[in-house]
Amino acid sequence: MLLNYATVKIPDGLDMLILELLILLALSNGAPVIMTIILEDRFAWPIDAGVRLFDGQPLFGSSKTIRGLVFSIVITTLGASLMGLGWKIGFVVGSASMAGDLFSSFIKRRFKMPASSRAVGLDQIPESLFPLLACQQMLDLGVKDILAVVLIFFISSVVLSPVFHKLNIRKHPY
């Protein structure tokens, strides 16, 4: 069944909020990648300090760095402030997005998947869902709003990843 967009009613301001949240998610997830391009290996200290768990795999892996975490949260906090959402929303979105990213990495390591390996869904959903759930009450987000943002983020990530790879922004085309 196709959706008839003419009948979908979006409350005033909600469409702008969805766009702003997508921008914040892009900032949060893009900041570590951009900082890797700019700083290369400088200050790239792994969050897990190389700790390996009972399965012999890293906790998160060497690609999850303190530098990426810090820059993600700072850039997202600044972005939310500049958009008028306030620094608290930016801090929550950035922090929860990185928590979702670390969760994904933790799960991938348990399945013995190498750092930066592809896991469609697992690579996109937690890093978009966690922040939306974390700021759900602050922004009065409904289930449909959250699902819409997660779906748009998921599709955008899958579609844009090969483009970012061709532009040498991403190391892998996924």
pLDDT number for residue 107: 96
- Which region among 67-71, 112-116, 143-147 has the lowest average model confidence (pLDDT)? 112-116
Residue 7 pLDDT grade (very low, low, confident, very high; cuts 50, 70, 90)? very low
Question: Within 13 Å and on the Cβ side, how many CA atoms surround 132?
Answer: 27
Q: What is the mean pLDDT of residues 39-67?
A: 94
Q: What is the mean pLDDT of residues 112-132?
A: 91
pLDDT number for residue 115: 78
Percentage of residues in the chain with pLDDT exceeding 70? 90
Other CB atoms within a 10 A radius of the CB of residue 104 amount to 21
Residue 118: pLDDT over 90: no
Query: H or E stretch including 10?
Result: none
pLDDT number for residue 14: 60
Q: What is the mean pLDDT of residues 136-144?
A: 95
pLDDT number for residue 9: 47
When the pLDDT of each residue in the chain is averaged and rounded to a whole number, the result is 89
- Phi-psi category of residue 84: left, alpha or beta, with phi > 0 → left and psi -120 to 50 → alpha: left
Residue 152 pLDDT grade (very low, low, confident, very high; cuts 50, 70, 90)? very high
* Whole-number Å distance between alpha carbons of 21 and 146: 10
**Amino acid found at 119:** A
